[in-house]
Structures are given as structure tokens and as C-alpha cells.
Amino acid sequence: MEHVPLITGFTIMSLSTLLIYLSGRKKAAIKNHVMMHALVTFIAATAYLAMALGVGNYLSDNGTTIYFARYIDWTVTTPILLAGLVMIAFHEYGPSSQMNGYLTAIIGLDIIMVVTGLLSSLADTFMVKAIWYLWSCMAFLGVLFLLWRPLRKIAITRALTTAGGYYKNITLLTLVWLLYPVVFLVGPEGLHLVSDAASVWSFLVLDVIAKVFYAFYAARVLAKSFQTTTIDSTTV
């Protein structure tokens, strides 16, 4: 178990939750998005605390530690991040929009991606590990396809004020998310080319970009799209 990166992760995610909340709570136009991002880091802080305290860390027969809290974190936080993007793509559709089933589809694929990633991590033989890893990658490709094809088209044709913001956000998200399967593959849960410590540190760096940096980036990009001036929320 890697105490230093796990406690570091807990500290960064806790402080980030406060910072994201405090910096965005008065921006009425993007408040919903700010709350979603603060919830993501809050859940991550909780997961890092559980991992640091040794709750849900499973030592498999071949000596690999599997952190269940990490997969529970991803199962909850990645749908929140994707839901934010679907909402941006459908921005100008109005409150009656059912989002054409895209919300259900993208969250479904995303949850399958995370759960089958966990199955790959738990598998004993190389073959079974590889099958679940590839299955997870297929679901991930489905997520990326929805973001880059139908949802991007919808954002361009309908969500005129936020289309640019949508594009910038999916670009950053795709670049960072693509690194997760790479870190998994070279880490102890995959080919074991690097140590548990290196793997935990790498996931921490990715988490800071995907959850914390992305929160501020998305808030800036969206606020620009809306051309909002800060409004005191008590007046709205």
C-alpha cells in the first residue's frame, strides 16, 4: 500500500473541492457545472481516504493490490463528467429535451468500461485479463465515438453558444482519458512493467488533470461561451 501518494491525493482532492466550490458558487450561469465538478473531487477525496486507510484494498494471489475504491470512484465520477458534456451539447434544445437517449447510452458504455476494467484487474490468467481489457476498450471507444460524432454534430448545429466550449472540453477530456488504459496496462494490474508506487502516482497525476484542472478549464471555457459576468447568486 502506498501511503504517501494516497494521502497526497486525499489532500489535493479535499482542498480542490473547496476551491472549485468557492470559485464558482456565485457564477449563476455555470453553477450547475461547478457543483458537478466539486462533487467529482469530493468523491475522489473520499476514495483516496479509503485507499489510504486500507479499506477495500485487496491483495490478490499474485501480490497485486487492487484498489476497489478507485473503481467505485470512477463508476460514479466519470458519468458525472460525461453528463456535463451531454448537457452542453444539448444546451439550446430547451428543458423538454430528452437528450435523445444519448445520456443513457454514454453513461451505460462508461459504466461497462469501468466495471470490465475491474474484472480485468481481478482476472488470474493472461487470457481472461486480456479479454476483459479489450472489452473495456471497446466500451471506451463507444464513449469517444458518441462524444466526437453525434454529440459534436448536435453541439455544432444546435447549441450555438456552447459549441466551441464543447469542442475544447472533449479535446482535453479525450487526451487525458486515453492515458488511463495505458497506465493500467503497464501497471501491476496489467503487464506489471512498473511498480505499484509508480502506478498510484501516475493515476494521481491523471486524476488531478481529469478532475481538478478540467474543472477550472471547463468553467473558464463555459463562462466565456456564455459571456457571463459574475452575478451574485442571492439576487437570482
Residues engaged in binding ligand RET (CB under 6 A): 40, 74, 77-78, 113-114, 117, 120, 133, 136-137, 140, 177, 180-181, 184, 207, 210-211
Q: For residues 135 and 226, which CB has a smaller minimum distance to ligand RET in the complex?
A: 135
- In whole angstroms, how close is the CB of 178 to ligand RET at the nearest point? 7
Q: Tell me the residue ranges of DSSP E strands in 34-140.
A: 57-59, 65-67
Tell me which H or E stretch contains 144. Answer: helix 126-148
Q: For residues 2 and 207, which CB has a smaller minimum distance to ligand RET in the complex?
A: 207
Q: For residues 217 and 226, which CB has a smaller minimum distance to ligand RET in the complex?
A: 217
Measured between alpha carbons, how far is residue 32 from residues 10, 37, 47, 124 in Å? 24, 9, 23, 42
The torsion of the CA quartet 23, 228, 160, 174, rounded to 10 degrees, works out to -20
> 3-state class of 228 per DSSP?
coil
- In whole angstroms, how close is the CB of 184 to ligand RET at the nearest point? 4
- In whole angstroms, how close is the CB of 99 to ligand RET at the nearest point? 21
Q: For residues 134 and 160, which CB has a smaller minimum distance to ligand RET in the complex?
A: 134
State the Cα angle at 46 between 40 and 52, rounded to 5°. 135
Separation CA 145–CA 21 (nearest Å): 31
Q: Are 170 and 152 in contact (CB under 8 A)?
A: yes
Q: For residues 137 and 156, which CB has a smaller minimum distance to ligand RET in the complex?
A: 137
- In whole angstroms, how close is the CB of 155 to ligand RET at the nearest point? 20
φ, ψ for residue 158, nearest 5 deg: -115, -45
- In whole angstroms, how close is the CB of 161 to ligand RET at the nearest point? 26
- In whole angstroms, how close is the CB of 5 to ligand RET at the nearest point? 16
Residue nearest to ligand RET (CB): 117
Separation CA 221–CA 214 (nearest Å): 10
Separation CA 78–CA 90 (nearest Å): 19
Q: For residues 160 and 175, which CB has a smaller minimum distance to ligand RET in the complex?
A: 175
